[in-house]
A and B are shown apart, each in its own frame.
Chain A
Amino acid sequence: MDFVNALVLLLNYIFVPALTYGSQLAIGAIFVTLIYGILRFANFATGDMMSFGTMVAIFFTWYFQSIGLTLGFLPTALVSIPFAILFMGLYMLIIDKFVFKYYRLNKSPPVQLAMVSIGVMFVTQAVVRIIIGPSDRRFFDGEKFLIRANEFKEMTGLNEGLAIKSTQVITIVVTIILVSTLFWFLNKTKTGKSMKAYSDNEDLALLSGIDPKKIVMITWIIAAILATIGGVLYGLDKSFKPFTYFNNMLPIFAAAIVGGIGNPFGAFLGGYVIAFSEILLTYAYKKFFMYVLPESMEPDGLIQLLSTDYKFAVSFSILVIVLLYRPSGIFKGKIL
Chain B
Amino acid sequence: MDEILKIEHLTKKYDDITVLNDISLTVKKGEVLVIVGPSGCGKSTLLRCINNLEDIQDGKVNIEGKTGMVFQSYELFPHMTVLQNLMLAPVKVQKRKKDEVKKEAEQLLERVGLSSKKDNYPAQLSGGQKQRVAIVRALIMHPEVLLFDEVTAALDPEMVREVLDVILDLAKQDKTMLIVTHEMAFARAIADRVIFLEGGSIIEDTTPAEFFDAPRSERAKSFLRTFEFEKVH
Indicate, yes or no, whether A interacts with B: no
Chain B interface (Cβ within 8 Å of chain A)?
none
Chain A interface (Cβ within 8 Å of chain B)?
none
